[in-house]
Structure 1
Amino acid sequence: MKNIYIALSFVLTISFGYAQSKETKSADKLYERYEYVNAAKEYLKLTDNGSTDTYVFKQLANSYYNVFNSIEAEKWYAKAITTTQDAETYFRYAQMLKANKKYDDAGNQMRRFASLAPNDNRAKSLSTQENYLSKLLGKTKLFDVKTVGINSKNSDFGAYLKDNTLYFASARNEARKSYEWNNQPFLDIYQSDFKDGAVNNIATEVTALNTKFHEGPVSISADGNTVYFSRESFFDNKFEKSTDKKSKLGKMYVYKASKIDGKWGNVTSINLNNKSYNTSSPSISKDGKTLYFISDREGTIGKTDVWKASINEDGSFGTAENLGPNVNTEGNELSAFIADDNVLYFASNGKQGLGGLDIFAYDTVKNQEAINLGIPVNSEKDDFGFTFNQSQNVAFMSSNRDGGVGDDDIYQATPYCQLNLIVKVKNIKTGENLSSASIVVANQNNKLIGKSTSDDMGNANFQGECDKPYFVNVEKDGYEINVFEVPNSKGEFVLNADLTPTVAIVTEKEVILKEIKFDYDMSNITSDGAFELDKLVVAMNEYPNMVIFVKSHTDSRGKDDYNMSLSDRRAKSTVQYIISKGVATDRIKGQGFGETEPKVKCGEACTEEEHAQNRRSEFLIVKK
């Protein structure tokens, strides 16, 4: 990740165990001033001169890590770990391996990290859920993600939609001074129109909020009259000196401005700022009572954490509160955004993810562990800056994933409308839950959506796209097949799939079924025939002592001996089908009688209807 916003949000300091030297002095100064591109060039010179010092390897790797050059970072971390036992180096190495889709190798390095830092929450989560990656890759999609045409060749991020205006931070102004971190122009705040679900490709500067320093991203109050945004502390002439006293090191502050006659003005620094730490990425709650932000102030669990502070009636802020371990880790938490439904979205590289920064959602009301938003919101690269305008049902995010036009690009994310279909199969007469029912779900184009069997409670779950009709085919032995239609729905929909038992008429002498159909000149059981014979199975299960004798008949057409043979084969097929359903062999026998016992004695003068009556099967009760 090369975006300047992340660079300005935190200062990375690690004790490497190897001392700096006069050979590294020039490169170290550049590194201390966050000029990672130039620092890497200086460290490379040392390796070209034959240096094999672990400190140089680590500094090179960290320089590339800080500008998210994952290929080079992986290369130099691989060299650094040959002579080091530094836990954080293993963690960063694993991050870069994941960014390069080398998940097995990343897992190995995370285990080495965990062995060196067993009390680190990042290590603890690994030990309890080592198969988390396969779960993430198989996670149900929550959003559809697409790029927008407003991106430039430099960093664009922090898109925030207010009404029909999209605000974002960008380094696109080539006339601006370049920032040494990544040799891109300083950041400014831009805006663009959002209409009919699309972003206008023309962006204009929000000149009232821009200065010669870095600005962005923004958050605007519900009434639209107050904007909060990040800006460098140099604007207030607040900074600290570098170790050599030759450089000024600023922090990120949060400022607010008011809308006066339709324009932003009266820009002031908020009282949460301090030159000793960063305060950035503001997000105001819908009720205007709480500000969420990113900071590395005292009390931070990791490098940077998500914090919040209440807003007093006079506009000042109360004591900053850390959101705790359900959100924050020993890694970096960044780009906080609080949605209207009080769900906090943020980016983290300390939680279980796909690589780099991943975007997570945390319900501030339920106060449960944050959840990873999965693919395609997250990728093996850095994904961050997630904002969600719920009234317009559209979100925006940023990423340096492959396929973009710049170092960091803005993406539009639309909630994937999901249907959670719960099918409950029951006996319509008794209300009994029916297990092992075969359930097939298809859409209106007859495309298979899912196939399953009901559990012991008669239930089966299916996932589909919402607001689309589905058809559910339910089958179970002893019950009539039924097809149910699911109307256009979203969220959870419960389908009561009640099945009617297949019923046979049981008299004192016989079990009466509808015609057992066979294909012409064939004796195998057809699906229609099976449906009727299942009724006989049900009847025999209801009368466990019942013994049946099957008599199969033909019409008078055809030769006598052939009809006798055909009817006998059909009788035996019928018997075998009943036995296959679990009925004991001593409870059913069968025999063919050809045309010898016509029901309608009409000879050669029989009509088709009369032939059909003679072409029958009978199920005589030998014992009840």
Structure 2
Amino acid sequence: MKKIYITAGLLLSLMTGYSQNKNTEKADKMFQSYQYVGAVEEYLKLAQNKKGDGYVYKQLADSYYNVFNMEEASKWYAKAVETKQDAETFYRYAQTLRTLGKYPDANKQMDKFASMSPNDQRAKDHKANPNYIPSLTNKDKLFDVKDTKINSKDQADFGAVLANDNTLYFVSSRNTGKKTDKWIDQPYLDIYQSTRSEDGTLSEPKAVGDLNTPFHDGPITISADGNTIYFARDSHSEGSYEKDKKNKVKLGQQGLYKATKVDGKWTNVQALPINSTKYSVSNPSLSKDGKVLYFASNMPGGLGETDIWKISIGNNNYGKPENLGNKINTSGRESFPNITDDNVLYFASSGRQGFGGLDIFKIDLNANDEVINLGKPVNTEKDDFSFSLNTSKNVGYFSSNRSGKDNIYQAIPVCGVEAIAVVKDKKTGKVLADAKVAILDSKQNVIATKQSNASGEVAYKVECDTEYILQASKEDYDPSTSNVTKTKSGKVTINLELEPVEVVITDKEVLLSPIYFEYNKSNITAQGATELDKLVKVLNKNPQMKIFVKAHTDTKGGADYNLKLSDQRAQATVQYVISKGISKDRISGKGFGFTELKVNCKECTEEQDAQNRRSEFLIVK
């Protein structure tokens, strides 16, 4: 790609469309509209009628993957890779196997991936360290992540940098009144600013008119005193571009520019001498003393598609660009550098071992340290990038497309406490290995889930002065829950005793433990899957039984919103059970919001809210 300034999508290769035909048209439409169970049915028909091929097998695997049925996903990925597939299919198959704990099998698929793409950095890293996922997942939590509430509804927002005067600068394509970039069919980017209050809230963003042009502007970096700004700008603004006649677009390069603040206005815009019509330079970050400027570029002499570089700055003089070398740069993409006041460099990379897409990494340039993955919750399987940290205010910002588009999130450094759960059989007192232990926040949102080791233990790094909930579950046992109280530091040991139970079936319903969902979401969690698997067993043992799922919420939030959310959760529950082989005519569901409260209260306690947030599994036959 010649452009490296736009959202994370433009830092990745353009996605190739998959092959479709008339046979797969119905299934493909369902797949694209997230009707994964229906898609499975249609793809299975093709496979069973001998109309299946590598594409159908791959789509089947992806469909099962999206309804949390990793066993079936693994089965169809196995068939898919017996046909001609690209390297990425082997890569996802390996990821699926890892979720099933089949690390040796996953490594075999990674071996094939590496043989197909030996020069891919992921292949090289695999060969050097094939078992990185467990250590990456279990690493200490470094930051707490929160929404910033300044993201636009449909447009991209990223590149947030907090200046010392509490002005937050970022770039956004929210200005739909301007031209559209035909290359990506999105509005051009503008630079925006918002004021951060002492409690961390941000004012309504407004465009920085002094710096914006009809074309792309941003991201930015700003000096410690707030009077000098460096920013990226599209060369279209200077009439410099190449014509792509096939796509009917004008391809420009990104360059870096400098402006100074005079009487509250940005003026005296100057192009840096490192700009070129042959390559792009973007994503600037200025050192605390203003003497070094870091940036990303695809200029000659790099190691990958885009690398991180730096130049020295004197009195309006600029040194020669210097590549940061292979300790930081890879054969993949490195971009969005941010240098902190204490000389720690944060950057995004697709060429290092991570959870998927772009991950955010850091390295202390003061020491002979290695590059560190920031881990969860900053990094996800999506693109996570553009991390900046204001050390004096102890707050950071980064961007991610985990919600489906580029949004800005807040990152707060956390101190750590180790919470250790010990899972035991309540009747015998024996420790239980391979039990699932989930850690939840005080609102019962699942943060992570691990399995107990041979000693029945699971350890979580948690924040200081914060309450958590530990929830243990194991097949043929009733789940157990215990609170982790606030503590300053050190270790906290919690005993979780599981009592062996059978599922209770009355003449009216099947009684299960609460089905937990993530806050404001309807996707099935690992804990929810464990409980619903019990329902699947009951239905398999009682082939004439039919179930109606009723999903309820508490009274917090609007009636329409809760009704919609509860219905989404009911349908997600139904879809999960069907995906496990239960006929769709044996289970249905509906959301009731808070129209049928179990506890009718005006100012409900948390316990009362919990009773109202429930799923019921009524026996209709």
> TM-score when scaled to structure 2?
0.54
| Distance of 1:78 and 1:302 partners within structure 2 | 32
* CA spacing shift, 1:243–1:192, aligned 2, 3 Å: same
- Name the structure 2 match of 1:407: 405
Aligned residues: 384
Counterpart in the other structure of 1:587:
none
Q: Partner residue of 1:267?
A: 269
Q: Tell me, in whole angstroms, the C-alpha distance in 2 between the residues paired with 1:375 and 1:203.
A: 28
The aligned runs of 1:360-379 (5 Å cut-off) are 360-379=361-380
8 Å CA contact retained: 2:233, 2:254: yes
Asked if the contact 1:281/1:294 (under 8 Å) is kept, the reply is yes
* Structure 2 counterpart of 1:146: 146
Deviations 1:91-130, CA, capped at 9 Å, x for gaps: 8867997999999797665332322344554323212322
Quick one: which of 212, 216, 219 aligns to 1:217? 219
The answer to whether the 8 A contact 1:189-1:216 is kept is yes
- 8 Å CA contact 1:190–1:206 kept in 2: the answer is yes
CA distance in 1, matches of 2:99, 2:148: 25
CA deviations over 1:6-51 (Å, ceiling 9, x no partner): 4686584xxxxxxxxxxxxxxxxxxxxx7x7xx959x8689989xx
| 1:240 aligned residue | 242
Alpha-carbon contact 2:141-2:461 (below 8 Å) kept: no
Shift of 1:203: 0.7
Q: Identify if the C-alpha distance between structure 1 residues 349 and 7 changes in structure 2 by more than 3 Å, giving closer, same or farther.
A: closer
Q: Per-residue deviation at 1:223? A: 2.0
State whether residues 8 and 252 of structure 1, in contact with CA within 8 Å, keep that contact through their aligned partners in structure 2. Answer: no
Contact 1:253/1:278, CA 8 A, preserved across alignment: yes
Report the secondary structure of 2:145's partner residue.
strand
Aligned CA distance change for structure 1 residues 85 and 40 (closer, same or farther; 3 Å): closer
Paired position in structure 2 for 1:418 = 416
CA distance in 2, matches of 1:146, 1:245: 39
Q: Once the 2 structures are TM-superposed, how far is the Cα of residue 264 of structure 1 from its aligned partner?
A: 0.3
Q: 1: distance between equivalents of 2:121 and 2:359? A: 17
SS at match of 2:335: strand
Confirm whether residue 353 of structure 1 aligns to residue 351 of structure 2.
no
Counterpart in the other structure of 1:498: none
Structure 1 residue corresponding to 2:193, chosen from 174, 191, 194:
191
Aligned to 1:362, the other structure's residue is in SS state: strand
Query: Shift of residue 380 of structure 1?
Result: 1.3
- Alpha-carbon contact 1:254-1:280 (below 8 Å) kept: yes
Alpha-carbon distance in structure 1 between the residues aligned to 2:129 and 2:8: 31
Q: 1:151 to 1:301 in 2, by over 3 A?
A: same
* CA apart distance, 1:400: 1.1
- Counterparts of 1:189 and 1:80, CA distance in 2: 45
Gaps of 5+ in 2: 26-54, 60-72, 420-458, 467-486, 492-621
Query: CA offset at residue 178 of structure 1?
Result: 2.8
Letter in 1 for 2:185: N
| Aligned-pair identity (%) | 48
**1:184 deviation in Å?**
2.8
The one-letter code matched in structure 2 to 1:375 is K
- Match of residue 496 from structure 2: none
- Identify which of 147, 152, 168 aligns with 1:166: 168
Give the 3 Å change call, closer, same or farther, for CA 219–97 of structure 1 in structure 2: farther
1:422-433 to structure 2, matched below 5 A, reads none
Distance in 2 (CA, whole Å) between partners of 1:11 and 1:463 is 33
SS in 2 for 1:312: coil
Aligned-partner Cα distance in 1 for 2:292–2:141? 30
How far apart, CA to CA, are the structure 2 residues paired with 1:362 and 1:145?
20
Which whole-Å deviations, capped at 9, do the CAs of 1:537-592 have from their partners, x for residues lacking one?
Answer: xxxxxxxxxxxxxxxxxxxxxxxxxxxxxxxxxxxxxxxxxxxxxxxxxxxxxxxx
CA drift of 1:290 comes to 0.7
C-alpha spacing 1:9/1:316, structure 2 compared with 1 (3 Å): farther
Summarize the alignment of residues 284-363 of structure 1 with structure 2, pairs less than 5 Å apart: 284-313=286-315, 315-363=316-364
Q: C-alpha displacement at 1:158, in angstroms?
A: 0.8
Q: CA deviation at 1:179?
A: 2.9
CA distance in 2, matches of 1:187, 1:204: 13
Provide Cα deviations, 1:447-495, integer angstroms capped at 9, x if missing partner.
xxxxxxxxxxxxxx99775589xxxxxxxxxxxxxxxxxxx988x99xx
**Contact 1:231–1:253 under 8 Å retained in 2:** yes
**For residues 234 and 103 of structure 1, what CA distance do their matches in structure 2 show?**
51
Q: What is the CA deviation profile of residues 210-232 of structure 1, one whole-angstrom value per residue up to 9, with x for unaligned ones?
A: 11101111100112111011111
Check conservation: 1:397, 1:412, Cα contact below 8 A.
Answer: yes
Cα shift at 1:319: 1.3
Which stretch shifts more, 293-302 or 177-186?
A: 177-186
Measured in 1, the distance between the counterparts of 2:21 and 2:183 equals 19
- Alpha-carbon distance, 1:340 to partner: 0.6
Structure 1 residue 418: deviation in Å? 3.1
Instruction: Supply the AA of the counterpart residue of 1:303.
Output: E
Query: Which amino acid is the alignment partner of residue 141 of structure 1?
Result: K
Q: 1:201-600 residue pairs with structure 2 within 5 A?
A: 201-242=203-244, 247-313=249-315, 315-401=316-402, 404=403, 407-418=405-416, 465=463
CA pair 407-121 structure 1, distance change in 2 beyond 3 A: closer
Q: 2:286 corresponds to which letter in structure 1?
A: I
1:520 corresponding residue in structure 2: none
CA contact (8 A) 1:191 1:205 kept: yes
Counterpart Cα distance in 2 of 1:79 and 1:106: 15
Instruction: Give the partner amino acid of 1:287.
Output: D
The CA deviation at 1:316 is 3.0
Partner Cα separation in structure 1 for residue 336 and residue 357 of structure 2 = 14
The corresponding residue for 2:133 is 133
Q: Is the 8 Å Cα contact of residues 96 and 355 (structure 1) preserved in structure 2?
A: no
Shift of the 131–251 alpha-carbon distance from structure 1 to 2, 3 Å rule, reads same
Letter of the aligned partner of 2:308 in structure 1? V
